[in-house]
Chains A and B, each alone.
Chain A
Amino acid sequence: GAVVSQHPSRVICKSGTSVKIECRSLDFQATTMFWYRQFPKQSLMLMATSNEGSKATYEQGVEKDKFLINHASLTLSTLTVTSAHPEDSSFYICSAERGRQETQYFGPGTRLLVL
């Protein structure tokens, strides 16, 4: 089956620093990747849709200057949380769409803790 990896799986950083999270599709090419945020005991909230070679589309209320998304290749998308603050602490999950099959394959998630 389709495999999506995320790195790192867990990161702790100081307030004001930036953190980069990588999302890779390991065995397929993903023209579209998605970034979600999940708060404890809540559902996933779509943050942005990332298309290879073009600018990401952000959902309403998501600060594009704070959450920088780069989809440099068909197998890699990165999310950079800039000037992180404690309220950015969350579980970030990416997913990748294989072709137009409408099935999204999810990464294992990255838990970010900002002190």
Chain B
Amino acid sequence: GDSVTQMEGPVTLSEEAFLTINCTYTATGYPSLFWYVQYPGEGLQLLLKATKADDKGSNKGFEATYRKETTSFHLEKGSVQVSDSAVYFCALSDRATGNQFYFGTGTSLTVIP
């Protein structure tokens, strides 16, 4: 079945450091891939998405490229800020399974000044 495997945290970085959070997936069909962010005490917010192979999603300095050959969708940011501290979830949606969402376990990021 479909699944998402996400790099375990927690991750602690200094401000302006480079961020990578790894995400790989398995899917029956041709899924769309997402990164969601959850700030403390809040719900999930869509950060970026990619709907087909080689697509790059980007938002607020974050990027992720849909790599079909490696079944990956790693999240990157060149220079993190304290305000980026949150939990990041990788997810996929697969039409083959009725657009059901599958989430990774989440990666907690803390950025220190």
Contacts and interface: CB of A to CB of B under 8 A. Distances in A.
A44 B46 contact: no
B44 interface: yes
A108 B105 contact: no
Given A34-B101, A102-B51, A44 B89 contact: yes
The prevalent SS among residues of A at the interface is strand
Contacts of A43: 89, 103-106
Interface string B39-52: 00011111001010
B95 A106 contact: no
A108 B43 contact: yes
A54 interface: no
Interface string B97-112: 0111101111010000
Interface of A: 6, 32, 34, 41-44, 46, 49, 93, 95, 97, 100, 102-109
Interface of B: 32, 34, 36, 42-46, 49, 51, 89, 93, 95, 98-101, 103-106, 108
